[in-house]
Amino acid sequence: MPGQAAELVFDEATKVYPSREGAAVDHLSLTVPAGEICVLVGPSGGGKTTALRLVNRLIPLTSGDIRIDGTSINDQDVVQLRRGIGYVIQQIGLFPHMTVEANIGTVPRLYGRSRSWIHTRAHELLELVGLDPSYAKRYPSQLSGGERQRVGLARALAADPPLMLMDEPFAAIDPIVRSRLQDEFLRLQQEVRKTVVFVTHDVDEAIKLGDRMAILRPGGKLAQYDTPTRILESPHDDFVAEFVGADRALKALALRTLAELDLGPPGDGPRVQRTATARDALALMIEKHADVLAVVDDAGMVVGSVSRDRLLR
Amino acid sequence: MNVAAGPVIPNFGQGSSCEVNNGWFCPEWVTGHWHDTLEPALVQHVELTAIAVGIGFALAFALALVGFRFRLLDPPIGVFSDFLYTIPSLALFQILIPVTGISVTTVEIALVSYTLLVLYRNTIEGLRAVPEEMVDVARGSGFTRMQTFLRVELPLALPAILAGLRIATVSTISIATVAAFVVAKGLGSPIFVALEQDVFKTEILVAGGMAVALALVADGLLVLLQRALTPWSRA
């Protein structure tokens, strides 16, 4: 079975449907470094999902190439290729006729893993995604939307694939649970360090999760591919600027924690954790009518201060 | 038309007063003729039904696979099984007797014909109703086409297929009583004999009642089978 993380390269990848005018994905070229999360984002009609499905050949390329660790996807047996790629879709993606354990064991079973191996692995993965191992014997209909999505994630991780494709996995989940799942997904990624291609139409989700964001415009053309910070700070054109939103400066604040800033000397003021984002700090200043905040560490010791000017610089 | 020569012809001149007066239900007749009339008829009825549903299911399943895989073939197969279903059973017997004779084969061909429609339709609709996402995830996870069919599409179609099997079994148990028009077999046979013999009410009532009871029992057993095969649907 696979392991590690793989580098993914789109090389002029193009999909044209004969029945449709124009391309769905138009000469898409970008490289996702091993172990990074690349979020494909853009308005509908941008070909995000098509681009994702080109990778595991659920949709065949019209021209161009996609390479995983240097090997073209077309040079591999399609079934073997897919078994080596984790695939997560919206919550409906769990097999309703299989228990949670059988769902997680889907791909390992294809690899011929034994029942006991799958049993152990399923328990391990349930813990990893924050579910009690007693869930193993349940059916998907007995789970909440958020729980199903965790199981979907566990299933995609079961064979330890070097690459994961995630197609709007959190879209059908209510905002509070979604935000928690996003946090846990990031924590999980710290542990497993997979290469992830993540499709969403939600720009905030893209900013939060992506190491890099690829913004696709209608017609499947790449508008900009960069880190969320750089896209927010210097959008390539009006389309990108408009897409990330008029509040992009505020969004950019959410990408920095106070720990990353140059703090002033310890001082008085409302207290804020150094792990808080600049955006949280700004919100606190507005709420408390304060110009300066006292920054504290985990133990509650004041380690510095931050002023409104410094925050917005 | 062959008339089944039943082994028991109630003689209204003898027997109990109930039998003599052709009462609605004479228990002494039932106990007296369980072994020579009712029990064999019941066993034959089960056999007629089991063979018809068994062959019908195998045939309908194979046709459904063809219709599912090759969409263009679905309409002709569907229309053909519709057509078979619309032929009145007595007419179908008349058509078949010159070919297959006065035999169990004639009866079974007719019975199988009537099961095809519901079994075919339920199987193919069950397979079609499998959500596209399920097939998508299976293919995307590296299932071969055959693995996708056996591990995802078929199990998810099972409730619909088994529902078809229930309808087919119950209706075959009912239609199989008409088999007595061709051969002296099944629960239709004592009914037929009783009709010939001045409408002996007890025999008609009991044989008819047994057919109803058999249908209910068969349906109940299939419900249990359905529960055993689709544990997730109760979860």
The alpha carbon of residue A160 is apart from the nearest alpha carbon of chain B, in Å, by: 13
* Maximum distance among all Cα pairs of chain A, rounded to whole angstroms: 67
Q: Which of B133, B140, B230 sits opposite A82 (nearest CB)?
A: B140
Same-domain status, A89 and A124: yes
Lookup result for tokens 């599409």? B153
Residue B10 and residue B21 in contact, taking contact as beta carbons nearer than 8 Å:
no
Q: How much is the pLDDT for A248?
A: 79
Chain A residues inside the 8 Å CB shell of B231: 139
Of B70, B41, B179, B174, the residue nearest B118 (C-alpha) = B174
Of A181, A5, A187, the residue nearest A86 (C-alpha) = A5
The two structure tokens encoding residue B160 = 């619909």
The tally of domains found in chain A comes to: 2
User: What is the number of helices (H) and of strands (E) in chain A?
Assistant: 13, 13
Chain A residues inside the 8 Å CB shell of B159: none
Q: How much is the pLDDT for B5?
A: 42
DSSP state of A256: -
Count CA within 13 A, CB hemisphere, residue B119.
27
Task: Break chain A down into helix, strand, coil percent, rounded to 5.
Answer: 40, 25, 35
Same-domain status, A93 and A176: yes
Q: How much is the pLDDT for A313?
A: 72
B232/A96 touch (CB, cutoff 8 Å), yes or no? yes
Lookup result for tokens 């047994």? B210
Chain B residues inside the 8 Å CB shell of A89: 133, 136-137, 140
For residues B143 and A9, what is the distance between their CA atoms, to the nearest angstrom?
25
| CA distance to A95, A104, A147, A227, A301, per residue, from B136 (Å) | 11, 16, 21, 31, 53
Contacting B residues, span 127-156, partner chain A, CB-CB under 8 Å: 131, 133-134, 136-144, 147, 152, 155-156
| CA distance to B54, B118, B216, per residue, from B122 (Å) | 16, 6, 21
Structural domains of chain B ordered from first start: 35-234 (1.10.3720.10)
Same-domain status, A135 and A284: no
DSSP assignment of A175-236, as one string?
HHHHHHHHHHHHHHHHHH--EEEEEES-HHHHHHH-SEEEEEETTTEEEEEE-HHHHHHS-S
| CA distance to B22, B197, B201, per residue, from B11 (Å) | 10, 9, 13
Q: How much is the pLDDT for A57?
A: 96
Q: Which of A87, A95, A97 sits opposite B140 (nearest CB)?
A: A87
For residues B196 and B208, what is the distance between their CA atoms, to the nearest angstrom?
15
Q: Is residue A3 part of a domain?
A: no
For residues B208 and A75, what is the distance between their CA atoms, to the nearest angstrom?
68
Same-domain status, A270 and A305: yes
Q: How much is the pLDDT for A91?
A: 63
For residues B84 and B181, what is the distance between their CA atoms, to the nearest angstrom?
19
Q: Is A34 exposed, middle or buried (0-12, 13-18, 19+ CB in 10 A)?
A: middle
The residues near B92 (Cβ < 8 Å, ≥ 6 apart) are: B110, B113
Chain B residues inside the 8 Å CB shell of A84: 142
**Residue of chain B minimizing CA distance to A142:** B235
Q: How much is the pLDDT for B1?
A: 39
Q: How much is the pLDDT for B88?
A: 84
Residue B157 and residue A96 in contact, taking contact as beta carbons nearer than 8 Å:
no
B24 in contact with chain A, both atoms CB, cutoff 8 A: no
Residue A193 and residue A51 in contact, taking contact as beta carbons nearer than 8 Å:
no
Q: Is residue A2 part of a domain?
A: no
B230/A97 touch (CB, cutoff 8 Å), yes or no? yes
The alpha carbon of residue A110 is apart from the nearest alpha carbon of chain B, in Å, by: 7
Q: What is the CATH number of the domain that holds A263?
A: 3.10.580.10
Q: How much is the pLDDT for B2?
A: 41
Q: How much is the pLDDT for A2?
A: 58
Q: How much is the pLDDT for A275?
A: 86
Q: Which of A252, A269, A291 is the last residue before a domain boundary?
A: A252
* Maximum distance among all Cα pairs of chain B, rounded to whole angstroms: 79
Domain boundaries, position A271 = 258-312
Chain B residues inside the 8 Å CB shell of A90: 133
Residue to mutate among B134, B136, B137, B227, with most A CBs inside 10 A, is B137
Locate the DSSP E strands across chain A.
8-16, 23-32, 37-41, 63-68, 71-72, 85-88, 163-167, 195-200, 212-217, 221-226, 271-273, 292-296, 302-307
Per-residue pLDDT of chain A (313 residues; tens, 9 = 90+): 556 889 999 999 999 998 888 899 999 999 999 999 999 999 888 899 999 999 999 999 999 999 999 999 999 999 999 999 999 987 668 999 999 999 999 999 999 999 999 999 999 999 988 899 999 999 999 999 889 989 998 999 998 999 999 999 988 888 888 888 898 899 989 988 999 999 999 999 999 999 999 999 998 999 999 999 899 988 999 999 999 887 878 888 888 888 888 888 888 889 998 888 888 899 999 998 988 899 998 888 888 888 888 887 7
Same-domain status, A193 and A103: yes
Of B169, B163, B170, B172, the residue nearest B227 (C-alpha) = B163
Of A152, A155, A147, the residue nearest A109 (C-alpha) = A155
Q: How much is the pTM?
A: 0.82
DSSP state of A277: B
Same-domain status, A307 and A201: no
| pLDDT tens string B172-226 | 999 898 888 888 888 888 888 878 777 777 888 888 899 999 999 999 999 999 9
The alpha carbon of residue B230 is apart from the nearest alpha carbon of chain A, in Å, by: 7
| pLDDT tens string A74-86 | 999 999 999 999 9
Mean pLDDT of successive 10-residue segments in chain B (235 residues)?
Answer: 44 66 78 81 92 96 94 90 85 86 88 92 95 93 94 95 96 90 84 79 85 95 94 81
Q: Is residue A210 part of a domain?
A: yes
Same-domain status, A108 and A185: yes
